[in-house]
Amino acid sequence: MSSRKPIKKAVFPVAGLGTRFLPATKAIPKEMLPVIDRPLIQYAVDEAREAGIEQMIFVTGRGKTAIVEHFDIAYELESTMSERGKDMGILEATRATPGDIITVRQQVPMGLGHAIWCARAIVGDDPFAIFLPDELMIGSPGCMKQMVDAYNEVGGNLISVIEVPKEEVFSYGVIDPGAESGALTEVKGLVEKPAVEDAPSNKIVSGRYILQPEVMRTLENQGKGAGGEIQLTDAMARMIGDQPFHAVTFEGKRYDCGSKLGFIEATLALALEREDMGQDVRALAQRLLG
């Protein structure tokens, strides 16, 4: 049993504009786009629950109420379905425990770092997890469970990483690696979108974090970074050296559902794995490919 403060809170920044998916995201949040039949946000919340997280903090903005409603009770739907004798399991699995969903507003999307900072009053003095729901992490156990297990060993701050071919690093945050032990790598530095020849490794930061509450104070006095936004990577980079910082190489598959190609890849890969439809999808794909 670990004596560290357990990770019970997670922040889901969902206040971005989702411009890469326009016009789909004009009136619907990107996080509500479904991969097959589950919205992205639900994959992330399920992953959090599996890791023992109880409090889900959504950093939202205008037009994002559907995200919160998704975890509510849908009275009309549930009573009609139960009258008709339909299986309610799918709906019941989406319900949050009363009081466990908290929303804060970002108001203006000033960057991921700013979105996280907006949750400071709810995070308080506790270490917390962060999920970027458009990065779909499929693993068994899930990505956050792997990270929480690592946290119980080493504490401090953790980020999940995956290894990509070196020539692809230029569009990601990349770690400068120190000592390695199993899935854990010490993080000596973070570089955002390096040139391939300057990249310190091929381990890219991928959508899941466990951070100490001090990051809120670091974000507080941080200026704008790349793209005129307040960057989480910049705040984390400033914390390295003051607190333990490790990367956990995720054992599983990561899909970048913030991009159209990644979204299609996720849909196809998950559909092919599904017991209820995998065979049909395979046949369909083969037919389409001629």
101 near ligand UTP (CB under 6 A):
no
106 near ligand UTP (CB under 6 A):
yes
Binding mask 112-151 for ligand UTP (x = CB under 6 A): x-xx----------------xxx-----------------
Residues touching ligand UTP: how many (CB under 6 A)?
A: 21
Interaction residues for ligand UTP, span 22-41 (CB under 6 A): 30
Under a CB-based contact definition with an 8 Å cutoff, are residues 54 and 100 in contact? yes
Among 7, 18, 218, 237, binds ligand UTP (CB under 6 A): 18
Among 3, 19, 221, 286, binds ligand UTP (CB under 6 A): 19
b/e per residue, 257-282, with b = 16+ CB within 10 A? bbeeebbebbbbebbeeeeeeeeebe
In the complex, the smallest distance separating the C-beta of residue 230 from ligand UTP, rounded to whole angstroms, is 8
Among 32, 57, 59, 247, binds ligand UTP (CB under 6 A): 59
Among 7, 10, 11, 13, binds ligand UTP (CB under 6 A): 13
By CB under 6 A, which span of 15-23, 74-82, 162-170, 192-200 interacts with ligand UTP?
A: 15-23
Residues in contact with ligand UTP by CB under 6 A are 13-20, 30, 59, 106, 109-112, 114-115, 132-134, 258
